[in-house]
């Protein structure tokens, strides 16, 4: 009964989809096939805005330095809006500059769209795939559907989230966090450029004309709610490659916390101040970093220091006055993240008393991202797509080690992610690489996943 | 016979001096008394050029940031030349901008002058006494002699050495090193401003008009040889204060070596790159710094890291690509300095292989300053002065932990140093402090020492 109801409503696509549950034919469940050449050509063309750190002779052999809301980032954003509008999408920019491009479904339903989202900003020494692949693949899905006259049931669309990297304005997954209510918009607007404290995220939104009027919120009454969020992303780790799998079905994300530790000592002459009379913050900070690594190993967690700063006035023959360093702690379980933090801070306090006349210690918690589980129906939609495309043996379940905008969307709409392998697991590096075949398979999986979910959603909402 | 010869030649001063061998009278051996108020007033007045880092309400409660050949340094140099010429001194500036101010002695001898030398440049977060006291005290000695019509036998004078600190142009004791033939002048001229690589030491000498025509050399044929070099300096350590002594008779200086260590890893995402797959230079450098401290303790030596640099592009969630840090190793014996360096570098090489996929390691030796023993006659002249002024119980022999221009002069002329206590041994810090009484006693000791040596020299050269 239900089936016939659906089939009446959904016409042929549903029969194709129904058949895919057991299908292993190479033909697409949706009847659509991603244009691989167009996908790759588009991806690399957009990378002309922000290309940096060349490592080879091929035009594509560069990394990226497209920091959020720089002129290059603004150019690629304007390009994306044009491309989406060429496809007949309606585009909306919210108060954090997030872009929503929407294509109507056959139901003409006012229900929130099914989104394919990621980000176009990069690290200062980033690559050509992190975030970029997810957005460009989403655009390719819309292009493929449009040229074949394919209509989803519910509205479908694309999202480019602002400042996912948090590299220029130091808060990662910044604007999806505002959308999800995890970060007050005033706090996000007030973030200052780490290289130029006179520039804020809001002032850059205004400068480029991306300070939209729609509230940055998932609240249907005022903001831009989503019916679902699917994100294609490179794994950024070595697991798929080492397991020889081609697709990762991402079921959730690690929790992580970012701390900034400040160790204060006292400047003194290195030649005349006995070790016992010193307050040496470089020695103490070094011991703390070494200790954090040992604590992380003990818990099978990750602890990393990416930034370490001494005063600009530091010199070879002077004990420095102060050191600040960052600590990034990650694990699949929040309680372990917390335990690592607690044990690190206890150890740091002991180290601060250890040498000479001691140092003083301060710390701040800058980011606290809880571990999340993604939506079962979204995950099933991705699994079905993966099984159909590569067979049950060629995909595996993963948990994301990195933060992604999907972590925030998952708190307000059904969400899942698709990972594809990247060479040697290298990411946040100019030589980050995802093969054309993997980019294409990822985009095809994204297409099938949203089509699968669109149909599941129709079933569920009957 | 010898005695009578001398007494004929030397007139009354020598009799005063002869009496001081056993004297313990408060009256000065030279019959001269430093003007304490003038000394302190002059010292603090010169500190208006470069005063920085205020820590109290008193006008003198600031540190100094008078980096070599900045506009403030040029102002105090011009002031010093004027003051020396007011006293009738002839002034000479050599090709490194070293200033020699010379007052004729009663012998009218062409022999090289007995110099009182130190430096007027400071660290970026330096104090008001390091170097400055030695130069201003030398000027006060000349002023005191001149107003009392006192004549030394040999010519006597003052030296201000250029770029002793090596803070702006990174080579410490830079121009005394050129004078001593330890550093080629082209290398010193070519040193670039650490904050602005377009500026060199030579370009700043030219800009301020301090690029003299006389060769910077101790060679009588071409340069400006010295007959002796006496340097008054704050101890920059806690030893005199803790031993409750008021004068340190400095018999030599520690050897030290400055190394720069470069640790190269690979940027990677902190959330997705297992510890075992990383090349993390921050972790490795931290372990190296901790290890260098342990090695130094084992040898009762000093090892210090004052500078540590990560790429400007470093970020919290990215393993850094490279770290450089400095290592400053010091000990009274050169063989121990070398042993500490060797053991550190061996340990560093092991650490570089230790974690994840390892890091690569490079190092350069930037400065190698051998331990030195000062001249026995100069030391005796200081001892006699100290015993006369404070009694045998109130002074102690010391070895300098810091590098000083006297280390270089000692290789080409008889040299000794006088230390006075500084509060809590703090130096290279805005709150570096030497009491007015200690400044005055130091200047009086400098005066008596050069007078003593002048007479010893006359004896020796008969």
| DSSP single-letter state for residue A413 | S
Predicted confidence at residue A11, as pLDDT, reads 32
| Interface membership of A257 toward B (CB under 8 Å) | no
How many other CB atoms are found less than 10 A from the CB of residue B335? 10
Predicted confidence at residue B85, as pLDDT, reads 98
How far is B285 from B360, CA to CA, in rounded Å?
11
The answer to whether the CB of B442 falls within 8 A of the CB of B449 is no
Cross-chain residue pair B270–A167, CB shorter than 8 Å = no
What is the chain B residue with the closest CA to A168?
A: B315
Predicted confidence at residue B403, as pLDDT, reads 85
Residues 28-67, chain B: which have Cβ within 8 Å of A? none
Predicted confidence at residue A18, as pLDDT, reads 30
Q: How close A278 gets to chain B, by Cα (Å)?
A: 10
What residue has token string 């205020």? B54
Q: Which of A115-119, B264-268, B378-382 has the lowest mean pLDDT?
A: B264-268
Q: Indicate the pTM of the whole model.
A: 0.71
Superfamily of segment(s) B36-254+371-461 = Zn peptidases (3.40.630.10)
| DSSP single-letter state for residue A275 | G
Token representation of residue A172: 């990662």
- Rounded to an integer, the average pLDDT of A294-314 is 95
Q: Which residues of A touch B67 (CB under 8 A)?
A: none
Predicted confidence at residue B194, as pLDDT, reads 87
- Rounded to an integer, the average pLDDT of B398-425 is 94
pLDDT band of residue B101 (cuts 50, 70, 90) is: very high
Residues 264-283, chain B: which have Cβ within 8 Å of A? 266-275, 277, 280, 282-283
Cross-chain residue pair A269–B428, CB shorter than 8 Å = yes
Average pLDDT of chain A to the nearest whole number: 92
- Rounded to an integer, the average pLDDT of A415-428 is 94
Residues 384-423, chain A: which have Cβ within 8 Å of B? 400-403
Handedness of CA A89, A93, A94, A97 (dihedral sign): positive
Q: For residue range A106-162, what is the model confidence (pLDDT) as tens digits?
A: 999 999 999 999 999 999 999 999 999 999 999 999 999 999 999 999 999 999 999
Which has the closest alpha carbon to A305: A284, A331, A320, A324?
A324
Handedness of CA A279, A282, A283, A289 (dihedral sign): positive
Collapsing DSSP to helix, strand or coil, A428 comes out as: coil
Q: How many CB pairs under 8 A join A and B?
A: 236
pLDDT band of residue B428 (cuts 50, 70, 90) is: confident
Predicted confidence at residue B313, as pLDDT, reads 81
Q: Does the pLDDT of residue B20 top 80, yes or no? A: no
pLDDT band of residue A26 (cuts 50, 70, 90) is: very low
Distance from the first to the final alpha carbon of chain B: 11
Q: Which of A64-73, B308-317, B388-397 has the lowest mean pLDDT?
A: B308-317
Higher pLDDT, A130 or B15: A130
Higher pLDDT, A11 or A275: A275
Q: For residue range A157-193, what is the model confidence (pLDDT) as tens digits?
A: 999 999 999 999 999 899 999 999 999 999 999 999 9
Predicted confidence at residue B28, as pLDDT, reads 52
The residues pairing with B52 across neighbouring beta strands, listed in sequence order, are: B63
Q: Which residues of B touch A172 (CB under 8 A)?
A: 317
Q: Does the pLDDT of residue A22 top 60, yes or no? A: no
Helix (H) or strand (E) holding A9: helix A2-10
- Rounded to an integer, the average pLDDT of A340-354 is 98
pLDDT band of residue B19 (cuts 50, 70, 90) is: very low
| Interface membership of A285 toward B (CB under 8 Å) | yes
Cross-chain residue pair B286–A290, CB shorter than 8 Å = yes
Reported ipTM: 0.71
- Rounded to an integer, the average pLDDT of B358-365 is 98
How far is B119 from B101, CA to CA, in rounded Å?
14
Q: Does the pLDDT of residue A91 top 80, yes or no? A: yes
Predicted confidence at residue A401, as pLDDT, reads 85
Where do the structural domains in chain B lie, given as residue ranges?
Answer: 36-254+371-461, 256-369
Share of chain A above pLDDT 70, in %: 94
Cross-chain residue pair B427–A268, CB shorter than 8 Å = yes
Within its chain, how far is the Cα of A446 from the centroid? Answer: 16
Q: What is the CATH number of domain A256-369?
A: 3.30.70.360
- Rounded to an integer, the average pLDDT of B143-164 is 97
């Amino acid at each position: 009964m239900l089936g016939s109801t659906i089939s009446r409503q959904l016409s042929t696509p549903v029969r194709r989809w129904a058949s895919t549950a057991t299908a292993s034919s190479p033909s697409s469940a949706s009847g659509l096939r991603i244009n691989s050449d167009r996908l790759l050509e588009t991806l690399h063309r957009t990378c002309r805005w922000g290309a940096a750190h060349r490592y080879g002779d091929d035009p594509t052999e560069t990394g990226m330095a497209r920091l959020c809301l720089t002129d290059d980032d603004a150019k690629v954003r304007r390009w994306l809006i044009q491309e989406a509008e060429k496809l007949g999408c309606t585009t909306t920019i919210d108060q954090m500059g997030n872009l929503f491009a929407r294509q109507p479904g056959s139901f003409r339903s006012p229900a929130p769209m099914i989104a394919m989202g990621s980000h176009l900003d990069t690290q200062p020494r980033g690559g050509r795939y992190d975030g970029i692949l997810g957005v460009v693949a989403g655009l390719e899905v819309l292009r493929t559907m449009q040229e074949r006259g394919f209509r989803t049931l519910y509205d479908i669309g694309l999202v480019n989230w602002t400042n996912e990297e948090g590299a220029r304005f130091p808060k990662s997954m910044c604007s999806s966090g505002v959308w999800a209510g995890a970060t007050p918009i005033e706090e996000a607007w007030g973030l200052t450029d780490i290289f130029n404290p006179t520039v804020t995220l809001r002032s850059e939104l205004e400068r480029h004309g991306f300070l939209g009027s729609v509230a940055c919120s998932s609240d249907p009454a005022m903001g831009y709610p989503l019916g679902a969020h699917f994100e294609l992303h490179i794994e950024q780790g070595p697991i798929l490659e080492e397991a020889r799998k081609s697709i990762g079905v991402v079921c959730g994300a690690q929790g992580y916390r970012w701390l900034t530790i400040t160790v204060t000592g006292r400047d003194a002459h290195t030649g005349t101040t006995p070790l016992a009379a010193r307050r040496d913050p470089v020695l103490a900070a070094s011991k703390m970093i070494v200790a954090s690594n040992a604590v992380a190993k003990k818990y099978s967690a990750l602890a990393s220091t990416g930034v370490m700063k001494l005063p600009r006035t530091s010199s070879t023959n002077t004990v420095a006055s102060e050191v600040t360093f960052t600590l990034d702690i990650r694990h699949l379980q929040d309680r372990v993240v917390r335990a690592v933090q607690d044990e690190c801070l206890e150890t740091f306090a002991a180290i601060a008393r250890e040498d000479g006349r001691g140092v003083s210690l301060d710390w701040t918690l800058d980011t606290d991202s809880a571990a999340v589980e993604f939506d079962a129906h979204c995950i099933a939609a991705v699994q079905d797509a993966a099984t159909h495309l590569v067979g049950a043996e060629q995909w595996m379940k993963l948990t994301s080690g990195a933060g992604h905008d999907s972590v925030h969307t998952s708190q307000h709409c059904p969400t899942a992610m698709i990972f594809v392998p990247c060479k040697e697991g290298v990411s946040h590096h100019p030589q980050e690489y995802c093969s054309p075949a993997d980019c294409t398979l990822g985009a095809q999986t994204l297409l099938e996943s949203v089509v699968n979910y669109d149909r599941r959603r129709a079933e569920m909402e009957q």
